[in-house]
Amino acid sequence: MLDSLEHLTPAQIVEELDKYIIGQKDAKRNVAIALRNRWRRMNADENIRREIVPNNILMIGATGVGKTEIARRLAKIADAPFTKVEASKFTEVGYVGRDVESMVRDLVEQSVNMVKTRKKEEVKQKAAEVVEDIILDALIPPIQGGRATPSFSSTSESNGMPDNDYELNERTREKFREKIRNGELEDRKIEIRIQQSAMPGIGAMGPGMDEASMMNIQEMISGMMPKKTKKRKVTIAEARKILLEEEASKLIDMDEVKEEAIFKAENSGVIFIDEIDKVASSSSKGSGPDVSREGVQRDLLPIVEGSTVNTKYGVINTDHILFIAAGAFHVAKPSDLIPELQGRFPIRVELQSLTKDDFYQILKFPKNALTKQYEALLKAEDVELSFADEALDEIANIAYEVNSEVENIGARRLHTVMSRLLNDILFDVPDKIGANAHIVVNREMVLDRLADMVKNRDLSQYIL
């Protein structure tokens, strides 16, 4: 669970975040402390462990400065379930739309998937052995009751006469088992039986029918229906993929998965609530939309404070889930949130707008830098792409200028600029630009292809 955090100090967590995110030192420090505190709580004295609640964080900053990426990377470092929601998508209880409890159900779903994936990996070897036997049975059915099954056709590949049909069958099966393991029969087609849902998704309507109730009814009806199987004719390679997933699922204990997933979600889950400023009211008293916004805040409050939520996997307590809220707060201010909700986000971090130098570093240093992504895309076509430093400097300059003069969308502007710069090359490969070509993006190319972007200000060309 949280053992992976034992060897990660706050400074080391910041180092990990630095590999993907440029700048924003304050935000990184605060989330690193919050993450380390989760391990500290789990190792604190049992008498006080339940009383230690996480310090939820409110990130304030314009779009594209790294708020979501910091939270997402934090969850990956901790191997924790993570879900991102937009506060503006929620509606007050009594209105049609998503209720705030759905974010907790999403988190549990994510946690279940994580635990299930890990447990399937643990039984992968055992499942592979079962799958091998199923494939072998489809190729050379075993002797049943001392006689070969009707579909068995013997092959005279043995030396001398066998003692009986059973011995011949076993020898032939072993030869084919060897061929399967050596990958000699991957394209051979076989007929297999696979499980299918007894029926498609079941809909239910009625007064007061919420999302959780709907899921529980669907789960209950689905569990009552008999499992059906259908025959499919596929290659051995395809059969292995299909059957491996099916057999691995049979080998894991779902009750154990659910129990572990709920524990993981409760103690290491991270919920990122974006656009929280959109539900903040700019006036203390309002009518119309403002009333609904305040209603959403009041619905959020018990979840963030700590309450129990029913999910199809069981009841989950939200006391120790880490909530990270974020918003640009251009119009509303954090103080426009209801006081009770403000108090539940005691750590406030203001993220800085990105400079031209930040853009240059974003293009060059992170592990997932856009330049590295484009290089990898073209490498798949055996074309080498590289960027001169002066080109990166010019791309950063153009992105910064466009953000300054039109609308500041932060690092997302780099996606638009890079796409505009490289689209012609991506189109010409491999028809006009063949394998083993080496393309160097220099300053002249950048100015030539992006000059009109800066001069003409044709917004439709580059605004997302």
Distance CA 303, CA 103 (A): 10
Q: 146 with 243, same domain?
A: yes
Q: 108 with 136, same domain?
A: no
Q: Where in the sequence is the domain holding 431, given as residue range(s)?
A: 356-462
For residue range 340-382, list pLDDT tens digits in order: 999 999 999 999 999 999 999 999 999 999 999 999 999 999 9
Domain end (from 226, 251, 276): 251
Grade residue 292 by pLDDT with cuts at 50, 70 and 90.
Answer: confident
Between 45-49, 173-177, 225-229, 379-383, the lowest mean confidence (pLDDT) is in 225-229
Split into its structural domains, the chain has a count of 3
Nearest by Cα to 376 from 395, 445, 432, 368: 368
Please say if the pLDDT value at position 147 is more than 70: no
Question: How confident is the model over 89-104, as a mean pLDDT?
Answer: 78
CATH number at residue 315: 3.40.50.300
Give pLDDT, residue 212: 53
Distance CA 32, CA 14 (A): 6
Distance CA 263, CA 102 (A): 18
Alpha-helical runs (H) found in 382-441: 389-405, 412-428
Local structure of residue 387 (DSSP, 8 states): E
* pTM for this model (two decimals): 0.80
> Rounded to a whole number, what is the distance in angstroms from the first to the last CA of the chain?
39
CB atoms within 10 A of CB 18: 15
Domain end (from 182, 216, 251): 251
Is 8 in contact with 77 (CB distance < 8 Å)? yes
Between 113-117, 342-346, 403-407, the lowest mean confidence (pLDDT) is in 403-407
| Beta bridge mates, 316 | 309
Q: 33 with 132, same domain?
A: no
Place of tokens 């499942």: 127
Please say if the pLDDT value at position 148 is more than 80: no
CATH number at residue 381: 1.10.8.60
Is 311 in contact with 103 (CB distance < 8 Å)? no
